[in-house]
Amino acid sequence: MPTYSEMANRPVLSQPVYEAGRPIEVVAREFGLDPQSVIKLASNENPLGPSPLGLAAAQKALANCHLYPDGGSTFLREKLAKIWSMEPNQFVIGNGSNEVMILLAQAFLRPGDEVVFGSQAFIVYKLATLLQGATPVEVPMPNYCHDLKAMRAAVTERTRIMFLASPNNPTGGTDKPEDIIALAQSLPDHVIFCLDEAYTEYLDASADLRALIKAGRKVVITRTFSKAYGLAGLRVGYLLGSTEVCGLLNRVRQPFNVNLPALAAAEAALDDQAFLARSKAVNATGIAQLKQGLNQLGYKYIDGKANFLAAEIPNADAVFQSLQKVGVIVRPLRGYGMTGWLRLTVGTEPQNARLLAELARLK
């Protein structure tokens, strides 16, 4: 009698496990702590909480949760179209931007195809690639920065997708908008360039690829409501591309992939410019605070503009454990091949101070 494992599709068996940030309640139970006292600086969530306009809209929408959500995400796509000066059918809404990347892989990858991304790129690119039986081509990142020339040089006849996040997670490095545009422009027509802009709201300038999309180049952009809008728990993100690519992805996605309160929250959060500005300001101060603290401790970090810093900390694994014991959750980067590194999400001023004080104590 075959086992389930023997019956499983081959890529399922070799699928790496995604190591998420540990939840507050789980850590609190494990270490006998009051959940109220635990701070999570592990998943690049917004320390200010959810966008107030988004939260209010989600709460209101819950009263109608006996109804299916709008499977076409009509109003959110229309609103995004206005903001971006594109057409509503150039957007695909996903259960987080993770989902739209997986849809892209499902729609376009088959065994033998290659997908190009950096060696310390967001892990979802690799997961999505491997699950389709396609081949990840991981381009080395010297000093944990993308080598865009090497990425271009890694493109072959078999390449179907190139993923690039700027800022990149978990390293935090950012590529220059003009370099990103040049890379996108340089790619052959059989390669889809996916620019992951999960943290773009924290930047002062990002690459505008709309002209390339309009010119018919195979370029897609992904965005999320999980970070600067503070809606990670509701799971909403989107992809912007040509009407053709969006039509194909819509065939692959589940009919009701984004739930009712999530759609309402995302729509409302787009109007919450005050919250976005506050998130950005608190993050900028927090990044400076963390950098200064790490400098004082003599710890190296990768210079970054997103809402986290990757820091090189001796005995990172032991420090990660010790921090949990006192109710501070951060993210070890061993899984990314960055042994000896921790990723620290920017918190509120007191949260950052607490993290730095604990790091000093553990030194």
Beta strands, E only, the chain: 39-40, 91-94, 114-118, 135-139, 159-165, 192-196, 219-224, 237-240, 300-301, 308-312, 328-329, 331-332, 341-345
Is the CB of 151 or the CB of 165 nearer to ligand PLP?
165
* Closest CB to ligand PLP among residues 100, 356: 100
CB 362 to ligand PLP: min, Å: 26
Work out how close the CB of 188 gets to ligand PLP at its nearest, in angstroms, rounded to a whole number. Answer: 25
CB of 296 to ligand PLP, least distance (A): 27
User: How far apart are the C-alpha atoms of 164 and 93, rounded to whole Å?
Assistant: 19
**C-beta closer to ligand PLP: residue 169 or 324:** 169
Residue 173's identity, in one-letter code, is: G
**Among all chains, which residue has been given the structure tokens 């960055």?**
338
* Shortest CB 101 distance to ligand PLP, Å: 7
Q: How far is the CB of 94 from ligand PLP (least distance, A)?
A: 7
Residue placing its CB nearer to ligand PLP in the complex, 77 or 227: 227
Distances (CA, A) of 340 to 128, 144, 300, 317, 320: 26, 13, 11, 7, 10
CB 280 within 8 A of CB 228: yes
Q: Closer to ligand PLP at the Cβ: 44 or 351?
A: 44
* Cα–Cα distance for residue pair 314/337, rounded to 1 Å: 15
Sign of CA dihedral 76, 88, 129, 124: negative
Residue 272: count other Cβ atoms within 10 Å of its Cβ: 22
Q: Which is nearer to ligand PLP, 155 or 236 (CB)?
A: 236
Angstrom CA distances, 285 to 1, 40, 57, 231, 338, stand at 61, 18, 29, 21, 26
Binding residues for ligand PLP, per CB under 6 A? 44, 96-98, 122, 165, 169, 196, 198, 224, 226-227, 232, 237
Distance in Å, CB of 254 to ligand PLP, minimum: 15
Q: Where do we find the tokens 């009712």?
A: 260
Q: Which is nearer to ligand PLP, 130 or 356 (CB)?
A: 130
Question: What is the closest distance, in whole angstroms, from the C-beta atom of residue 168 to ligand PLP in the complex?
Answer: 7
State how far the Cα of 202 lies from the Cα of 225, in Å rounded to an integer: 13
